[in-house]
Amino acid sequence: MIRKTYSVGNTTVGKSARVDWLQAYQVEQWEGLVDGVPVRVERDGWSDISVRLAINLIGAPPMSQTEFAEYRKSQESETVVGLGPLFTMLSMSG
């Protein structure tokens, strides 16, 4: 499976955001009966592409890894509220 992820911090509005792109290469095999006749089918190829856009609405502002480590040391607990819709781009080929 191939997975590409790109993360961004939007300091303009003080929110951290992330974009994930996911696409898998699949290999499948099926054996069974079709109208009483033994059949074996093999398929392989790329899956549909999924894109997830995520943003933290409430929580820590965007920061570097070093800043985040220091921030976590100073926090006993934290409430984080985010939104992360997932979109799948379906292939229409046969």
Q: What is the pLDDT of residue 7?
A: 57
| Domains identified in the chain, total number | 1
Looking at residue 36, what is its pLDDT? 94
Bridge partners, 28 (sequence order)? 43
Q: What is the domain range of residue 9?
A: 2-89
Residue-wise pLDDT tens digits, 13-64 = 677 887 888 888 888 999 999 999 999 999 998 888 888 888 888 887 788 8
Inside any domain, residue 61: yes
Q: What is the pLDDT of residues 61-94, one digit of tens each?
A: 788 888 888 888 888 888 888 888 888 887 666 5
Answer yes or no: is 59 within a domain.
yes
The answer to the question of residue 94 being in a domain is no
What pLDDT score was predicted for residue 42? 94
pLDDT at 9 over 60: no
Task: Check residue 52 and give its pLDDT.
Answer: 85
The answer as to whether 23 is a domain residue is: yes
Q: Is residue 29 part of a domain?
A: yes
Task: Tell me, yes or no, whether 67 lies in a domain.
Answer: yes
